[in-house]
Structure 1
Amino acid sequence: MILTDSLLDLFLETRRHTEEICSPLEIEDYVVQPIVDVSPPKWHLGHSTWFFEEFILKNHKKDYVLFDADFAFVFNSYYETLGKRVVRADRGNLSRPSVQKVYDYRVYVTEQIKVLFSEDQNEELYQLLEIGIHHEKQHQELLVTDIKYILGNNPLLPSYSDKFVGHIEEEHEQDWISIDEGVYEIGHDTTDFCYDNELGKHQVYLQPYKISNKLVTNGEFLQFIEARGYQKFDLWHAEGWDWVNNNSVVAPFYWHLIDGKWHHYTLKGMQQVEKHLPVTHISYFEAFAFAQWKECRLPTEFEWEAAQNFFPWGKRWEWTESAYLPYPDYQKAPGALGEYNGKFMVNQKVLRGGSVATPPKHTRHTYRNFFHPNLRWQFTGLRLAK
């Protein structure tokens, strides 16, 4: 497959969108790292640029000159194959390079990519550019969620942007969709882009089940809180119960009880919780406990995929009951790109769908997101099954 103008346009559109996400920030916001899971916006800007430099320009552009020889050490994330890097927890200590220099780096690499692809087009370059684009789109989602964490843990709880569209009501009536038992095909099987963890289309046998056509709402989760769901040990996994007690968890992340009413921090600032909107920022532990309380369960990722044509999705990442494991005949890519997904297939749960932070032209019904069960800084919600 040879590069088309549309792919280069997508590359340029993606590069612009990353910077648009950062445009409401103050310069002081770019370097903050409150916890190890959250990376500073400046680091995201540099890392997504380094990816194109490391995997494309260094190996394929003749006489390519590095923008800065230290940037591979600063902006490598977890690629052991590519050498030493800044410890993840220390990304917030990078007061240098400056924000301006990182933006200069972005311009430099973007222009070099444009020059390279005006001179040379081949299947390998096409595939590398495509994965680089979607890698940056992943970081756009992380940028939004990390910015929310940074501002949502600022004592002043400042607003990110009044233009951010984060509140989407599912207006259709709640219903249970019945899915027949049988053998269903799972996995990606088109020529469109996907990650390697979606490959290996295979068949799974499913027992008959029902799945909700709506996400669980704030109002429903508020009923769980009022029923003292966070205090009932029998609803929780043992590890989840330890997590609740060790961290004094009493509500979804960003929720605050103010004058007897629940509020939550949003990217538009602090607002009163709206009961009709889908609940978000919950851990797998909380999703599981809520399902137990409702005498239901979470769907497996295979049940979710088999039923996805029957309900709207993409408003929240949805926890599933499936462990993040390789599909049959899974093959890691050679070299550093083989570290992209495969080495994380342990101790994590699969999420399906997408969220209000997911950029355009990125998610699909076979997309497999994955996080540890205790994490909830992403826009995570749940859908019930039984």
Structure 2
Amino acid sequence: MDGRPEPASALELFRRTRARTTDLVAGLSPEDMTVQSMEDASPAKWHLAHTTWFFEQFILRERVADYRSPDDRFAYLFNSYYVQAGPRHARSRRGLITRPGVEEVMSYRRHVEAALEDLLRGEQADDDLAARVVLGCHHEMQHQELLVTDLLHALSFNPLMPAIRKPEPMPSHGETPMGWTEHEGGIFAIGHEGPGFAYDCEGPRHDVLLRPFALGDRPVTNGDWIAFMEDGGYDRPELWLMEGWAAAERNSWDAPLYWWQQDGEWWCFQTRGAQPVNLSAPVAHVSYYEADAYARWAGKRLPTEAEWEVAAAGQPIRGNFMESGRLRPVPRADARESQLYGDVWEWTQSPFTPYPGFRPPEGALGEYNGKFMVNQMVLRGGACTTPIEQMRASYRTFFHPDKRWQMTGLRLADDR
């Protein structure tokens, strides 16, 4: 992380971030918050506790000599993958943690919040402390996004199809043909530089050589995807990577996750419940393998992450983010907007690997990103479930290529 925020600004960010997490779970039942639908996903209650443990483990236990946790066993229950921080409860069994209950977890959150606020207002407060708090806030923002998508996955198994948010009609706009934005080739610098927060994996800044390329001026839409499906896209092995074809066959993929046909019409399950598929909204919940197959079908390709970042450099960061409250992709209202940010994370063809000169920080926090730099693909741009405060042109997120439960879509690229 570059830059050293002041304690006062860190305190404001901390309060704002914690309040948004609380708002996300408002109206959920204890049963909603305890369920775990697969190993990749975690219960909402666990997200609430884990983000609290992060502040406790990496700030309070290190900076407050007489700090006392409400329950030292929480360190075992709510550590995620920080091996150097100690033993952990099995990820696949987080949904079996019925105790502590939701009220006790919320009490744990309040306990840590009070201790951290006292620390930030006290004589020990300094810029290094503020920087660690900002990291913890951005960590919690990532878990806010996961909380929503994990809960959506869990509720998708409920025959009642309960909505996370009050159902409302989606705005509809006529589909517009995909245009292209042209970009010259050359040597460009990518990666984070300068003040402001960034994760360690976003640097060091370095030069890349790009050939001339073009990017689609909008993401691929649901209507585009239905055309791919109707042309047998899921039944044509020549379009698919070998591992992708195997994954599609093994999992019986024939449409994006949460889609089904009803009376000849495509429907999908979203945070607003079950609704007809909106043809002009960006397609979501597709894996890298599906995105790559679609690009081949269209005679194009996926962009590299360097191409995406160069195209995004200098562009205003605006779009459909978590703060809009929609929590689902929506059609673009203005054909002049590229939807480069927000709505859906966009798969790139770039593997998540270290930039030249990357060195993870020492200690347990060095495990945050560095040890995941293998067998995963980079996505760019943020989604409707991403807090806008997370977003910058250099931000890299990553998932295994077969994952579909996140708000993942795609934008086409082409050589020039």
TM-score (norm 2): 0.90
Please, which moves more after superposition, 154-163 or 266-275?
Answer: 154-163
Residue identity in the other structure for 2:286 = I
Name the structure 1 match of 2:389: 361
Give 1:174 shift. 3.1
Structure 1 residues 2 and 259 mapped into 2: Cα distance closer, same or farther (>3 Å)?
closer
Pick one of 306, 313, 332 that aligns with 2:310: 306
Residue identity in the other structure for 1:109 = V
Name the structure 1 match of 2:136: 132
Give 1:259 shift. 1.6
Q: Distance in 2 between matches of 1:275 and 1:255?
A: 13
Pick one of 255, 262, 265 that aligns with 2:266: 262
Q: Distance in 1 between matches of 2:81 and 2:211?
A: 39
Name the structure 1 match of 2:107: 104
Residue identity in the other structure for 2:65 = K
Name the structure 2 match of 1:339: 367
CA contact (8 A) 1:197 1:342 kept: yes
Deviation by residue 1:207-230 (Cα, 9 ceiling, x = unmatched): 111111100000000000000100
CA root-mean-square deviation: 1.7
Name the structure 1 match of 2:63: 60
Deviation by residue 1:50-98 (Cα, 9 ceiling, x = unmatched): 0000000011013111111100000000000011110000100001111
Structure 1 residues 166 and 323 mapped into 2: Cα distance closer, same or farther (>3 Å)?
farther
Q: Distance in 1 between matches of 2:133 and 2:383?
A: 24
Q: Distance in 2 between matches of 1:322 and 1:170?
A: 32
Name the structure 2 match of 1:280: 284
Q: Distance in 1 between matches of 2:214 and 2:158?
A: 42
Name the structure 2 match of 1:80: 83
Give 1:2 shift. 6.0
Give 1:7 shift. 1.9
Which secondary structure state, in structure 1, belongs to the residue aligned with residue 187 of structure 2?
Answer: strand
Q: How does 1:210-221 map to 2 (within 5 A)?
A: 210-221=214-225
Question: Do structure 1's residue 25 and structure 2's residue 25 form an aligned pair?
Answer: no
Q: Distance in 2 between matches of 1:20 and 1:305?
A: 32
Q: How does 1:35-184 map to 2 (within 5 A)?
A: 35-119=38-122, 120-162=124-166, 174-184=178-188
Give 1:147 shift. 1.2
Question: Do structure 1's residue 381 and structure 2's residue 409 form an aligned pair?
Answer: yes
Give 1:283 shift. 0.2
Question: Do structure 1's residue 200 and structure 2's residue 204 form an aligned pair?
Answer: yes
Structure 1 residues 347 and 315 mapped into 2: Cα distance closer, same or farther (>3 Å)?
same
Q: Distance in 2 between matches of 1:350 and 1:322?
A: 6
Q: Distance in 2 between matches of 1:363 and 1:298?
A: 21
Aligned residues: 386
Give 1:264 shift. 0.1
Give 1:155 shift. 2.0
Residue identity in the other structure for 2:232 = R
Deviation by residue 1:141-192 (Cα, 9 ceiling, x = unmatched): 1011111111112122111112789879798763211111100111000210
Deviation by residue 1:281-327 (Cα, 9 ceiling, x = unmatched): 00000000000000000000001111115643222100000000000
Which secondary structure state, in structure 1, belongs to the residue aligned with residue 274 of structure 2?
Answer: strand
Residue identity in the other structure for 1:343 = K
Residue identity in the other structure for 1:355 = A
Which secondary structure state, in structure 2, belongs to the residue aligned with residue 252 of structure 1?
Answer: coil
CA contact (8 A) 2:7 2:126 kept: no
Structure 2 unmatched runs, 5+:
316-337
CA contact (8 A) 1:2 1:122 kept: no
CA contact (8 A) 1:169 1:278 kept: no
CA contact (8 A) 1:291 1:297 kept: yes
CA contact (8 A) 2:141 2:390 kept: yes
